[in-house]
Amino acid sequence: MSAFPRHVQAAGGVILRDGQVCIIHRPDYEDWSLPKGKLDAGESYEQAAVREVHEETGLRCTLGAELSSQQYTDRKGRPKTVRWWAMEVVEDEGLTPSREVDERRWVPVQQADALLDYEHDRELVREALQATRGTA
């Protein structure tokens, strides 16, 4: 085993529609956050973002503008990089609750600040709003 912890790579999305943002509840963490997850072997950040958003929300989305990435140390002490994109819904297949995500909500953007548990998620919602204003 390597002396250095493996660098974790993940990707996710900020999904906006009609003045609302899609947030998820993760029972293991008891938090409200934005959908994201780790890259599979051989997968690009972009592919992972689309796949993870679909798995965690039931929404098929297309990528919009890339947003600020995030670097931090995860709970296991590993360095982690998460890349984010603004996303647009193509199809809603409905959420199938799981151990990972048990609830999905569309909330008015103004209420996202109060519901999201992490400051970086709140900042990403504001950034996605700015990025999509020019395309609406």
Residue 132: what pLDDT? Answer: 85
Per-residue pLDDT of the chain (136 residues; tens, 9 = 90+): 455 668 999 999 999 999 999 999 999 999 999 999 999 999 999 999 999 999 999 999 999 999 999 999 998 999 999 999 999 999 999 999 999 999 999 999 999 999 999 999 999 999 999 998 865 4
Domain that holds residue 52: 8-130
In a domain, 35, yes or no: yes
Q: What pLDDT score does 92 carry?
A: 97
| 33 within domain boundaries | yes
pLDDT (0 to 100) of residue 23: 98
Residue 42 falls in which region: left (phi positive, over 0), alpha (psi -120 to 50) or beta: left
Task: Give which of 13, 3, 24 is closest to 86, Cα–Cα.
Answer: 13
- Residue 2 domain flag: no
**pLDDT score, position 2:** 52
What pLDDT score does 136 carry? 44
Is 81 a domain residue? yes
Nearest to 56 by CA among 117, 91, 89, 12: 12
How high is the pLDDT of residue 41? 95
What CATH number should be reported for the domain holding residue 77? Answer: 3.90.79.10
Q: How many domains does the chain have?
A: 1
